[in-house]
Amino acid sequence: MMKIATWNVNSIRSRLEQVVQWLQENSVDVLCLQETKVVDADFPRSLFEQLGYHLYISGQKSYNGVAIISRSPLADVSTGFAPVLGDNNIGELDEQKRVITGVLDGIRIVNLYVPNGAAVDSEKYYYKLRWLKVLRDYLQTLLQQPAEVALNPKASSAAVQSAIQNPKSLCVCGDFNIALEDRDIHDPAAFKGRIMASEAERQALRLVLELGLADAFRKFTAEGGHYSWWDYRTGAFRGNRGWRIDHHYLTPDLYERAISCKIDSAPRKLPKPSDHTPVIVEF
């Protein structure tokens, strides 16, 4: 039994009370945060540590920033693309803190904050597309790496053979800033071809998923009208004018094991909320 949540909190310091409260009311094993907007030295660790959680963080001043908050310690934690792909293959893409990963109970959890892209054809849009291409290489490399058991000198040769031959279990979650299908947008016609819905972004994400990853939410829910982000402006939440852009993508073994995937819209109703709300997958 394991629950993994993802939540873009739009500043952990502004949302600290809400996040701690939510953790106390929702017994998740792992909470992946995005847009923490704080350097590591200033991350508000203590309330989480008092609750018994372990923290793994990668932040920067003002923008971006990711963190994994886990009830149990994680193995093999790394941040950014470089530890997996090497320094020569990623250009400047690790300057923005958007990637953190670790292993829990044989599941590699990858927590992502995909670039927003500003507007189609902008400089930031091409940064987003380039980032998604590198993400594919990154995940492909993780999938090809032998599992931790294969690196353990005490593991039996049978276990090592099995670990090498069997695909790894990956839960790739976070704020993707892409609605892959029209049913993920409240008014797809109005946003056709626009940022977060454009064909090039969707195709870049599809290429990532072709590595063998499937959307946990769509295992259980086919209809539209379910969203994870609502614009602060123009009363978008009240009118449920939202987008589903926060996802859990799972390798086949985990997809089979998943027993629920739910969006918890309660935190979006609070005063001073994040514009995103948590999504939780359960195995």
Partner DNA sequence: ATGGCAGTAAAATACTGA
Which residues contribute to the site for DNA (CB under 7 A)?
A: 8, 10-11, 13-14, 35, 37-38, 61-63, 115-116, 118-119, 124, 175, 177, 195-196, 229, 231-234, 243, 245, 272, 275-276
Least CB distance to DNA at residue 127 (A): 9
- Strands 107-113 and 169-175, sheet pairing: parallel
Tell me how far apart the alpha carbons of residues 90 and 114 are, in angstroms, rounded to a whole number.
Answer: 15
Shortest spacing between CB 100 and DNA, in angstroms? 16
Cβ-based nearer residue to DNA, 60 or 145 = 60
Question: In the block, which residue shows the tokens 């949540």?
Answer: 5
Lookup result for tokens 């309660």: 266
Contacts of residue 126, defined as CB under 8 A and 6 or more positions apart, other chains included, come to: none
Beta carbon nearer to DNA, 96 or 140:
96
- 217, 146 Cβ separation under 8 angstroms: no
Residue with tokens 């963080």: 57
**Toward DNA, which CB reaches closer, 37 or 247?**
37
Measured from the CB atom, the residue of 216 and 245 that comes closer to DNA is 245
* Nearest distance, CB of residue 93 and DNA, angstroms: 13
Min CB(175)–DNA separation in Å: 6
Q: CB burial class (10 A; 0-12, 13-18, 19+) of residue 148?
A: middle
CB of 13 to DNA, least distance (A): 4
Residue 38 or 250 with smaller CB distance to DNA: 38
The set of residues, in sequence order, having a beta carbon less than 8 Å from that of 236 and lying 6+ positions away, is: 230, 242
